[in-house]
Amino acid sequence: MTFLITAGPTREPIDPVRYLSNHSSGKMGYAIAAAAAKKGHRVILISGPTILNVPSGCDLIPVETAADMSQAVGNWISRVDVAIMAAAVADFRPVEYQTQKIKKTTETDMMTLELIKNPDILAEARSIHGYGGLLVGFAAETENVLHNAREKLNRKKCDLILANDVSQPNEGFNSDQNTITAVYPDKEVELGSHSKTHLGALILELCEDFVRR
């Protein structure tokens, strides 16, 4: 099969030296990509900025912003069997990009930054691109994890949401460990707490089993 996997953060520039981003390392998405490539699947890995090595056998498409990632996903999604949206895409970007570095002044102690919503890449898979393959999303939550994950599954028309509590110490963002619950329309399956490498293999198996049904 052909997999499209998004991974890592996006960076939304404020000026030439500053940007908005998040704590995503890309490790979870890269682990799934590595597991899929190892099983012989073709993998299109659309990644925001990370320090990770590209897994062997994956075709990397590097991107910077949410708009870049949205465009890359739109270019590829009609050609894949499975789309796994593991990237932590910035929800907002600055309305205006300042072409010169914003300088600190003595006249004020505050600055207001006006933001606008970014494209919702996961939701657009069905609503804009009409994607008919297996659609998998992630829900990185800090409270009401399963409730929020199920709401996301229904609202964005996913087949599967992988939920994790990023408020837990030493798990989630920037960690090699994660605890994931797979949320389906009709059930929930605890994958448990494991290394992201092991979870990548488990998630791949879930996707393969889903497609074989």
Cite the active site residues: 22
Q: Are 94 and 12 contacting, i.e. CB atoms less than 8 angstroms apart?
A: yes
Q: Are 204 and 39 contacting, i.e. CB atoms less than 8 angstroms apart?
A: yes
3-class SS letters over the chain: CEEEEEECECCEEEECCEEECCCCCCHHHHHHHHHHHHCCCEEEEEECCCCCCCCCCEEEEECCCHHHHHHHHHHHHHHCCEEEECCECCCEEECCCCCCCCCCCCCCCCCCCCEEECCCHHHHHHHCCCCCCEEEEEEEECCCHHHHHHHHHHHCCCCEEEEEECCCCCCCCCCCEEEEEEECCCCEEEEEEEEHHHHHHHHHHHHHHHHHC
Tokens of 191: 């994958």
